[in-house]
Amino acid sequence: MTERTITLSANGQQLACKPEHRNLLEVFEHHQVEVEYQCREGYCGSCRMKLINGAVKYSEKPLAFISDGEILPCCCMPVGDIEIAF
């Protein structure tokens, strides 16, 4: 995987998603961006976010309910550059 860019829409901050990151939650933690989470497995849905642009893939299908346009950063990775409502 090549490096991807995650843009936070609220302030335009751009975060580098590197090949060693296993999920978006790790990207946020690496850049000291605080995200609400509990399970880290896609069960609880507390890390739910709105995806504005781009696409993600899941390591496993999450069990928490997510609506169209929502993602769970604890268990997904960007397919390319993405923008998140955050």
23 pLDDT band, cuts 50/70/90, is very high
- Please answer whether residues 22 and 78 qualify as being in contact, where contact means their C-beta atoms are separated by less than 8 angstroms: no
Q: What is the pLDDT of residue 2?
A: 86
| Average pLDDT across the chain, whole number | 96
> What is the share, in percent, of the chain residues with pLDDT greater than 90?
95
Residues 2-11: tens digit of each pLDDT: 899 999 999 9
Flag whether pLDDT at 1 surpasses 90. no
Closest CA to 1 of 79, 54, 82: 79
Read off the pTM. Answer: 0.93
